[in-house]
Structure 1
Amino acid sequence: MQVVPELETGGAEQTTIDVARAVVAAGGRALVASRGGRMETALAAAGGELVRLPMQSKNPLVMLKTAGALRRVIRKQGVSLVHVRSRAPAFPALWAARAEGLPTVATYHGIYLAKGRLKRWYNAVMTRVDRVIANSDYTRAHVLAEHGIAPDKVVAIPRGVDLTRFDPARIAPERIAALRQAWGLADAFDGPLVFLLAGRLTPIKGHETIIAATARLKGEGRDLRVIFAGDDQGRTAFRQSLEAAVRAADLEGVVRLVGHCDDMPAAFLAADVALLPTLVPESFGRAAVEPQVMGRPVIASDHGGTTETVLPGSTGWRAPPGDTAAWASAMAGAIDLGREGLETLGAAARERATRLYSNDAMCAATLAVYEQLVSSREDGK
């Protein structure tokens, strides 16, 4: 049973579904305890089974009640292992798993920072398991430095990409044309380069850096288009602040906020270059790998997991986070390279990304951890 707060959108949620599909393909049952969300349909299509519980709650009384509900699920459904993917739901899930004598796994999907003892204790719940999975070498190093646990307890398994879903050859031109039309772009790729920032609207994702860099490029006489594809997830004030910044910089029609996009494979092909200007380090940065799999070069912040996935001069560019001038320079470099040069860069990016970050490899490594822990627990009985 995997445990995740919600099934709305994001890397942890997608990985949950990917692993559920692999468990089912291997002949097992894949339960997911979660409040649910828009990705429920995808979970069902993968063969996973939703256990609807308030896993997102941080209320101690709710957590205690949820732990009891999870124990009943574990007994009734014959759960053999519990895999937690977030801190708050880890508390009731691990209480229930320990009470039932089950092996436990936690995946560190992010870099949890702590300034005080209480927050460090809260974060450390993700290490109170039999095995910790880090989604990159960068994340593994952080876990070891932050929590001081034994190195053999933490294994790095990079996130994977579904190479069937993210396959340029499988994307019908009509899907690309439909997105470009919805985004207010011409059908033909003979106009300005299109830069795509795919991610939820939140200050840490660096949208403001891109607005400032685009304003600088426009001032230099550069012609380009920038698409922000992502939900505000209730952060209406931040979305409105971005819209105001676009107006203030006279970038209406140049920078466009298009909301959530369900068809990301087509979205990357509808653009020329992907952007990942995060202000805080991404633990892995699937948004930097998926476009490369689709043959699109990436400009990413030069920190965190993207230092492993984006190679300057080979698969894209890296720029210091929040450095408007550096981001404008990198974007100008892409414009100067032109679509033919970007195609060559994108081909190299696809070759490397498909070789290193396949979904099959990620799932196989995760299931191997499951098998080892379950077998060890059974042998010890």
Structure 2
Amino acid sequence: MANLPPDFALLQVVPELETGGAEQTAIDIAQAVVNAGGRAYVATRGGRMASRLEADGGRLVLMPAHSKNPLVMMGNAARLIDLIRKEKISIVHARSRAPAFSALWAAHATRVPFVATYHGIYNARSGLKRWYNAVMTRGDLVIANSDYTRDHVIAAHDAAPDKVISIPRGVDLARFDPRKVTAARVQALRDLWNLGKADGRTVFVLGGRITRLKGHRTIVDAAARLKAEGRTDFLILFVGDDQGRTDYRQEVEDAISAGGLSDNIKLVGHCDDMPAAYRLADFALLPSTQPESFGRTAVEPQAMGRPVLVSDHGGARETVVEGETGWRLPVGDAEAWARGLSQAMDTDATRRRTMGDAGQARAKKLYSVEAMCEATLAVYARILESRA
């Protein structure tokens, strides 16, 4: 790991710790800092992942970091200033825009370096929104979670290229290791989801929260086309919760019912054992309707030896090799996705295994958590050295 000062203390600020790439990265980096002998604080609203942070040695600081209310944001800045001074924080690292304002104000007030990670491609349909998004670029350095995101940050904010560094999202290869997933874990999910015994159908898993940008409707419409052609030898599992998006979830369920697809598509809710979910599957899906800045749920199944079908845009163009580790398909094109699903189902076992092995090898080479943490801690060391 990078040579950090012996008294190094990191403060990360993230809206909540429920689920998602930014949240998991915050926990990964916190653990890396602790392992390197430093202290790691995360200011957040909290959430189901908070216990994991504390189990890894990180320190949870509860505050309404998710709020976009200006008065609350000012209060958060005051809380962060007190924390920075009390704990002698070395670097402040923001992972979302709303809390980035509070974190930036606090960092400036205490003259502590400020870093932000661009975890997504934010919409900017007005000058005000572009100003709001640009808070992520107002610190010492911007970390982009893919080359695609880096190019976007430089273009959208006229950022100096030497201030924007690409560090790909890391995947926990110790957790996403096919050798560690027992048959009992896979069977436990089958029982939980009432899948019964394997029935010969090709199983697809779409992992991610139930939100429109993840493209569930594209898959439902594609499946309806397959069924209309008389093909029903598939089972698609939507793995993730709606996080309060009940209207969209109902829309998806209504489309499944209208297509007569209740036996072919199931919404199974949140899953704490995604490695087993991917081993249960034959293929994974990431049909995002908007570009994924990185697309963790395209890389994790590859690490588990499963080929993936992804929308052909954003970070997926970096993480999925067409025809080698999966297939890249036109965004939102149900007809093309129907053909893609059909092609995957018709791929023989040997070819599936070859593609799975290629994806696993590539994930190990390029997307390990260790590589991401090493690069991030090197950024911290570089900033502290330049400030000194």
Question: TM tier, shorter chain?
Answer: over 0.9
State the Cα distance separating 1:331 from its structure 2 match. 0.7
Task: Determine the structure 1 residue equivalent to 2:222.
Answer: 213
Alignment of 1:126 with 2:139, yes or no, is: no
Aligned counterparts of 1:184 and 1:51: Cα–Cα separation in 2 = 39
Task: Determine the structure 2 residue equivalent to 1:366.
Answer: 376
1:168-221 deviation digits (Å, cap 9, x = unpaired): 101111111111222232444x51010000111111110000001111112223
Matches within 5 A, 1:54-65: 54-65=64-75
Equivalent residue in structure 2 for 1:151, among 161, 165, 189: 161
Task: Determine the structure 2 residue equivalent to 1:102.
Answer: 112
Aligned counterparts of 1:64 and 1:266: Cα–Cα separation in 2 = 43
* Structure 2 counterpart of 1:201, one-letter code: I
Is the Cα contact below 8 Å between 1:6 and 1:36 reproduced in 2?
Answer: yes
Matches within 5 A, 1:17-166: 17-166=27-176
Unaligned runs of 5+ in 2: 1-10
Mean alpha-carbon deviation: is it higher for 175-184 or for 343-352?
175-184
The SS at the match of 1:30 is strand
Matches within 5 A, 1:152-191: 152-188=162-198, 191=200
Identity over aligned pairs, percent: 62
Equivalent residue in structure 2 for 1:291, among 301, 323, 329: 301
1:310-355 deviation digits (Å, cap 9, x = unpaired): 1111000010111011101111111100333212211111011111
The SS at the match of 2:297 is helix
Matches within 5 A, 1:200-239: 200-222=209-231, 223-239=233-249
Aligned counterparts of 1:185 and 1:339: Cα–Cα separation in 2 = 22
Aligned counterparts of 2:123 and 2:245: Cα–Cα separation in 1 = 22
* Structure 1 counterpart of 2:183, one-letter code: P
Task: Determine the structure 1 residue equivalent to 2:208.
Answer: 199
* Structure 2 counterpart of 1:98, one-letter code: H
Is the Cα contact below 8 Å between 1:299 and 1:318 reproduced in 2?
Answer: yes
Aligned counterparts of 1:145 and 1:187: Cα–Cα separation in 2 = 51
Equivalent residue in structure 1 for 2:349, among 339, 349, 362: 339
The SS at the match of 2:348 is helix
Aligned counterparts of 1:265 and 1:344: Cα–Cα separation in 2 = 19
Aligned counterparts of 2:342 and 2:252: Cα–Cα separation in 1 = 22
* Structure 2 counterpart of 1:91, one-letter code: F
The SS at the match of 2:120 is coil
TM-score normalised over the length of structure 1: 0.97
1:50-107 deviation digits (Å, cap 9, x = unpaired): 1101111111111111111111111111111000000000001110011101011100
The SS at the match of 1:32 is strand
1:154-173 deviation digits (Å, cap 9, x = unpaired): 00000000110110101111
Aligned counterparts of 1:187 and 1:356: Cα–Cα separation in 2 = 36
The SS at the match of 2:206 is strand
Question: Number of residue pairs matched?
Answer: 377
Task: Determine the structure 2 residue equivalent to 1:253.
Answer: 263
Is the Cα contact below 8 Å between 1:22 and 1:363 reproduced in 2?
Answer: yes
State the Cα distance separating 1:375 from its structure 2 match. 2.3
Aligned counterparts of 1:64 and 1:348: Cα–Cα separation in 2 = 49
Aligned counterparts of 1:79 and 1:220: Cα–Cα separation in 2 = 61
State the Cα distance separating 1:151 from its structure 2 match. 0.4
Unaligned runs of 5+ in 1: none
Aligned counterparts of 2:137 and 2:80: Cα–Cα separation in 1 = 20
* Structure 1 counterpart of 2:209, one-letter code: R
Alignment of 1:349 with 2:346, yes or no, is: no
* Structure 2 counterpart of 1:332, one-letter code: S
Task: Determine the structure 1 residue equivalent to 2:7.
Answer: none
Aligned counterparts of 1:314 and 1:162: Cα–Cα separation in 2 = 22
The SS at the match of 2:237 is strand
Aligned counterparts of 2:195 and 2:228: Cα–Cα separation in 1 = 21
The SS at the match of 1:257 is strand
Aligned counterparts of 2:127 and 2:370: Cα–Cα separation in 1 = 38
Aligned counterparts of 2:364 and 2:197: Cα–Cα separation in 1 = 28
* Structure 1 counterpart of 2:251, one-letter code: S
* Structure 2 counterpart of 1:282, one-letter code: E
* Structure 2 counterpart of 1:257, one-letter code: L
The SS at the match of 1:76 is helix
Task: Determine the structure 2 residue equivalent to 1:13.
Answer: 23
Aligned counterparts of 1:45 and 1:191: Cα–Cα separation in 2 = 40
Is the Cα contact below 8 Å between 1:272 and 1:339 reproduced in 2?
Answer: no
* Structure 2 counterpart of 1:50, one-letter code: L
Aligned counterparts of 1:330 and 1:317: Cα–Cα separation in 2 = 8
